[in-house]
Structure 1
Amino acid sequence: MKSKNPLIPFLLFLLIFFFLNTYTLSGLQFFSGNPLLPLLFWTFVLLLCASLIIAFRRIPRRGMDGFFKIISHAFLILLVSEFIFVLSLAPGDIYRLILHQPRNYAWVVFASAMLALSILTFIYGMVRGKYAYRVIRHVLEFEDLPEAFDGFTITQISDVHAGSFRNRKAVSRGIDLINKQQADLFVFTGDLVNNKASEIVPWVDLFSTIRAPYGQFSVLGNHDYGDYVKWETEANKRANLEQLKSLHKQMGYRLLLDEHVVIEKGGQRIILAGVENWGLGFGQRGDLKKALQGTQPDDFKILLSHDPTHWESEIKVLPAKIHLTLAGHTHGMQFGLEAFGIKWSPVKYRYAHWAGIKEENGRYLNINRGFGFLGFSGRVGIWPEITVIELRKKP
């Protein structure tokens, strides 16, 4: 089979980018007829593009340093803001072309306001939004929940990505908010780091303060294995993973590697299992059969599995019923809208269900939106999440 020509999508992107900038400039020119405006506008755009190319070429030598982050984020803000400007202005332009009328001043003002609002929203997301922790609560009812666990609470976080953190005071506030929930059980569902175990070391003391009466448990995510960086030797990569595992233990987290534990309360029990990362397109290391070995068919089971595609592909159809699966991974793409009854993020085109609770045949999945951030150093509309789930016995 012939591989796809990468030049075609690149040329398509250039065409779209040129259109966005040309259309945006036409809107800005509505307010000013200064002949220097097009020159200044295109000079800025070309300088930004040239800087982005330079930033990418520096990655092999300097990695994704401060220069790369500034330029890449500026380019992203420009692209998304212009896209919103075009979406806002186009309906008015189509209407006036049909009626053969000049551009409406109020419509251009509206589109320009949306452009400015988009830029300001991105700046907020980069400065404050990425640490704007939210507690999201769910009450789930089960007919076969053991009586002793009626009202049992679980606090879940996911996708810490410690290598992205810079604000210790803000992260500390998030951890204080976790402890404030006073849940019976604490779980972490993977991606403690971006690539290397050393990234969590400066934060171990903070995450070590998280405690729950029935323990703290964790699993690994796709980023925890060090698959996305080059290692001098395979032995170094293995050593990195072993270091990460030991840091889980140092923080007081029981790392579940295709295994389960029994949680006992009032003479009754539930099963908490955890698998290594299993995800479509992100490695299928986990062994669910091994994790459940020794459990009984009528046991109430909770599973920690980082990638929600595991639930869709295997867990929800497993003969041995898993009542609740806790996952993360999607981050809600760190960008979207969850307000006024709207729940939308571009990540929906990769994951049909990308955040919150989903239920099929009495089996529940919760996807945590993530505690940290990766790539884009911010969050816009999809805020960092601390989940609290209360288990209830269905009357």
Structure 2
Amino acid sequence: MAKRLLFIFMVFILGDIYFFQAFTTVFHTPFLHNAYWCIDLSLLIGVATLIFFQRQGKDIQRQAGDLITFFLIVFIPKLVALPILLTEDLLRMARGFPPRNIYLSEFVLICAALIVLVIAFGLTRGRHYYRVRKEILSFPDLPDAFDGFKITQISDIHSGSLSDVDGVRKGIALANAQNSDLLLFTGDLVNNKAAEMEAWISDFTLLKAPFGKFSVLGNHDYGDYTRWDNAELKASNLDRLKEIHQEMGFKLLLNESIKIQNKGASIALIGVENWGKGGFHQYGDLGKATSALPAESFKILMSHDPSHWDRVTLTHDQHVHLTLAGHTHGMQFGIELFGFKWSPIQYFYEQWAGLYQKQGKYLYVNRGFGYHGLKGRIGVWPEITVITLKKSVS
């Protein structure tokens, strides 16, 4: 982690130096030059201040989100400009380093301005720019009664970040419009406290599915990222969160499984508590959750963190056909165009968005319904997933 952060810092410095050269090629006013460096200085002061307050034990999540947003606005345009200006330098080197081409510098600044507009869209409209992503998955051992069975998955609501009632209701209506048989929520209902969800209970109660609504907990749901006066308050917060799941009509699965029955046949729906790599708590117990299931049963697992699939599910003695996860949000920032997919989160999670398959087992990682940290989404839009199960010929 430290090496990756150092790499990001070095790229930022390099991009800053090059972008300033393009800036001064176009703008010659000392006032603008000073303003350029004041923005950078403000960013560094913000980072230092947050580090100080974090060491003092203060809750800095809201301020950290603002700083992340500020960083992206400052950093991303420079990052895009960097390869263009580096290429120009290679050409300048061959010609004895003449002055920078003003037209190329203008082009770089125009590109930077366009990128800022894209970021502005992501921080406003992008928060609720919901995309429906559909997958059809075929299995030879799927019971005939479930051929064509539709599942809607949402994940990572993060109600503590939500503020636009109409935007949220648009996402809920879109989820209901899929007319799926089953609705599954894969964790992170809140940022920190159950109280964040109180105002949204009536809205999310409107989610409907004829075969039921089921959910699991995510890493944020345990209240681990905020300060509590005592352990009893933290425990009561989790108890209230569990009650809210019930009030919204969700059956919360805590290291357990249930049968979804249809026309005399059944599939197993499994839900484990959060289990994550890299310092995240590992409350999930897949062995306990599957202990009463026959080996031949068709199994769908809800597990918030996709690292659980690699580290536990793939090698588990019970064959889990499909795992549904969330957690990564696709970092709420990236590029997804024409089948190409990139986000910085891929350097931390091998499976971070969309469908994956190994050893005849599937994992789908939902990009999230809400947002946290970065107060919006840029390129990686909020998602409603629809998975249709099909019976394949063996």
Shared fold (TM-score greater than 0.5)? yes
**Is the Cα–Cα contact under 8 Å of residues 65 and 372 in structure 2 kept in the other structure?**
no
Matched, 1:98 2:94: yes
Aligned partner of 1:76 in structure 2 is: 72
**Is the Cα–Cα contact under 8 Å of residues 88 and 114 in structure 1 kept in the other structure?**
no
Q: Which of the numbers 214, 233, 236 marks the counterpart of 1:236?
A: 233
SS at match of 2:85: helix
Matched, 1:291 2:289: yes
CA distance in 2, matches of 1:357, 1:44: 40
Q: Which of the numbers 221, 224, 245 marks the counterpart of 2:242?
A: 245
Letter in 2 for 1:82: K
CA distance in 2, matches of 1:39, 1:105: 20
Letter in 2 for 1:359: Q
Q: Offset of 1:109 from its aligned partner? A: 2.7
Matched, 1:22 2:17: yes
**Is the Cα–Cα contact under 8 Å of residues 86 and 111 in structure 1 kept in the other structure?**
no
CA distance in 2, matches of 1:300, 1:61: 47
Q: Offset of 1:231 from its aligned partner? A: 0.7
Q: Offset of 1:90 from its aligned partner? A: 1.7
C-alpha change, 1:16 and 1:388, in structure 2 (3 Å) is closer
**Is the Cα–Cα contact under 8 Å of residues 141 and 391 in structure 1 kept in the other structure?**
yes
Provide, for residues 175-203 of structure 1, a one-character-per-residue CA deviation record: whole Å limited to 9, x for no partner: 00000011000000011111111111111
Q: Offset of 1:87 from its aligned partner? A: 2.8
SS at match of 1:29: helix
CA distance in 1, matches of 2:20, 2:375: 28
Q: Offset of 1:44 from its aligned partner? A: 3.5
Question: Structure 1 regions of 5+ residues with no counterpart?
Answer: none
CA distance in 1, matches of 2:314, 2:62: 43
CA distance in 2, matches of 1:11, 1:132: 33
CA distance in 2, matches of 1:35, 1:182: 60
* Structure 1 range deviating more: 19-28 or 160-169: 19-28
RMSD: 2.3
CA distance in 2, matches of 1:68, 1:280: 23
SS at match of 2:25: coil
Aligned partner of 2:374 in structure 1 is: 376
Matched, 1:41 2:36: yes
**Is the Cα–Cα contact under 8 Å of residues 125 and 380 in structure 1 kept in the other structure?**
yes
TM-score normalised by L of structure 2? 0.92
Q: Which of the numbers 185, 192, 198 marks the counterpart of 1:201?
A: 198
CA distance in 1, matches of 2:115, 2:259: 49
Q: Which of the numbers 117, 126, 129 marks the counterpart of 1:129?
A: 126
Please show how residues 252-267 of structure 1 align to structure 2 within 5 Å.
Answer: 252-267=249-264
Aligned partner of 1:144 in structure 2 is: 141
Aligned partner of 1:335 in structure 2 is: 333
CA distance in 2, matches of 1:258, 1:304: 10
**Is the Cα–Cα contact under 8 Å of residues 52 and 72 in structure 1 kept in the other structure?**
no
CA distance in 2, matches of 1:151, 1:314: 29
Letter in 1 for 2:318: A
Letter in 1 for 2:314: K
* Structure 1 range deviating more: 259-268 or 352-361: 352-361
C-alpha change, 1:26 and 1:187, in structure 2 (3 Å) is same
SS at match of 2:142: coil
Question: Structure 2 regions of 5+ residues with no counterpart?
Answer: none
TM-score normalised by L of structure 1? 0.92
C-alpha change, 1:160 and 1:92, in structure 2 (3 Å) is same
SS at match of 2:270: strand
C-alpha change, 1:43 and 1:197, in structure 2 (3 Å) is same
Provide, for residues 133-181 of structure 1, a one-character-per-residue CA deviation record: whole Å limited to 9, x for no partner: 0000000000000000000000001111110001011000000000001
Q: Which of the numbers 111, 114, 117 marks the counterpart of 2:114?
A: 117
Aligned partner of 2:309 in structure 1 is: 311
CA distance in 1, matches of 2:305, 2:8: 30
Runs of 4+ in 1 over 4 A off after TM superposition: 8-18, 51-72
C-alpha change, 1:73 and 1:141, in structure 2 (3 Å) is same
CA distance in 1, matches of 2:125, 2:252: 31
Q: Offset of 1:22 from its aligned partner? A: 2.8
Aligned partner of 1:365 in structure 2 is: 363
SS at match of 1:203: helix
SS at match of 2:19: helix
**Is the Cα–Cα contact under 8 Å of residues 56 and 68 in structure 1 kept in the other structure?**
no
* Structure 1 range deviating more: 115-124 or 205-214: 115-124
C-alpha change, 1:275 and 1:44, in structure 2 (3 Å) is closer
Provide, for residues 311-348 of structure 1, a one-character-per-residue CA deviation record: whole Å limited to 9, x for no partner: 10111122211111111111111111110331111111
CA distance in 2, matches of 1:279, 1:67: 25
Aligned partner of 1:167 in structure 2 is: 164
Aligned partner of 2:349 in structure 1 is: 351
CA distance in 2, matches of 1:11, 1:260: 44
What percentage of aligned pairs have identical amino acids?
44
CA distance in 2, matches of 1:287, 1:67: 35
